[in-house]
Amino acid sequence: MVLRRLGEWCARHFVIVIVAWIVALGAHAWWTPRWLDRTLPRIDTEGAGEELGAGRATARRAPRP
């Protein structure tokens, strides 16, 4: 019973800390190293590829600051 309560407490506080960390870092929380950005596939989740025409799913890269 004590371990169950401790586990729930830890999970609850872990979620709060992660959300606070993401809010504090802002846009930097989603930063990806350039070498990893080049190797990961581009996945069009919001339909931006359809706006480009011909129904191809090609996502535009965001400009780097």
Q: What is the pTM of this model?
A: 0.44
* Residue-by-residue DSSP string for 7-28: HHHHHHHHHHHHHHHHHHHGGG
Q: What's the average model confidence in pLDDT over 31-50? A: 85
Sorted by where each begins, the domain ranges of the chain are: 1-29, 32-65
Closest CA to 32 of 20, 24, 41: 41
pLDDT band at 12 (very low <50, low <70, confident <90, very high): confident
Q: Are 23 and 13 in contact (CB under 8 A)?
A: no
Residue 22 vs residue 61, higher pLDDT: 22
**Mean model confidence pLDDT for the chain:** 79
Q: Are 53 and 37 in contact (CB under 8 A)?
A: no
Asked whether the predicted pLDDT for residue 23 surpasses 90, the reply is yes
CB neighbours (10 Å) of residue 50? 13
Residue 31 vs residue 60, higher pLDDT: 31
